[in-house]
Amino acid sequence: MIREITANDFDGLLTLYMQLHDNPFPEKNEDIMKLWNTILNDENHHIIVAEESGKIVSSCVCVIIPNLTHNQRPYAFIENVITDCNYRKRGLATACLDFARDIALKKNCYKLMLLTGSKKESTLKFYENAGYNKNDKTAFIQWI
């Protein structure tokens, strides 16, 4: 099942995120729960998940960004694309990305952007097969 995150999905999502850049499971304290609730209540912040047998096994984030150009149409940004290593090659991440695209279309976005830190040819090909291209823009990152 592909759907948006719910308040009860915190543990499942953060467990999946442990496979993303070797993130540790964060301590459940007041600050992280405040952040969680901020994300849940932000109408422009969408966390999409694939769930199988009650377990979150794939996810991506889609953030809608208001914009003053392109006839004031917003754009969407995709981040944190991840599939549990035991559930890969099943089309789950593609389904999450398709769900994100549907959100962007409903919000009248003029483009969808995605950044990846991966240099693996298989990952880059996956994103190209999902409809993204690496030719139209050049991304620069400044870590702070």
Asked if the structure places residue 144 within a domain, the reply is no
Q: In the predicted model, what is the mean pLDDT of the chain?
A: 95
The angle that helices 92-106 and 121-129 make with each other, rounded to 10 degrees, is 40
Q: Cα separation of 30 and 92, whole Å?
A: 32
Strand 2-4 with 45-52, pairing: antiparallel
pLDDT exceeds 90 at position 32:
yes
The predicted pLDDT at position 44 comes to 98
Asked if the structure places residue 134 within a domain, the reply is no
Q: Which long-range contacts (CB under 8 A, 24 or more apart) does 5-10 make?
A: 5/40, 5/47, 5/48, 5/49, 5/59, 7/36, 7/37, 7/40, 9/49, 9/56, 10/36
Asked if the structure places residue 76 within a domain, the reply is yes
Count of structural domains within the chain: 1
For residue range 86-143, list pLDDT tens digits in order.
Answer: 999 999 999 999 999 999 999 999 999 998 888 899 999 999 999 999 889 888 889 9
Q: Specify the CATH number for the domain of residue 113.
A: 3.40.630.30
Asked if the structure places residue 143 within a domain, the reply is no
Q: Please tell me the pTM assigned to this model.
A: 0.93
* Residue span of the structural domain in which 67 resides: 2-129
> What is the band of 37 on the pLDDT scale with cuts at 50, 70, 90?
very high
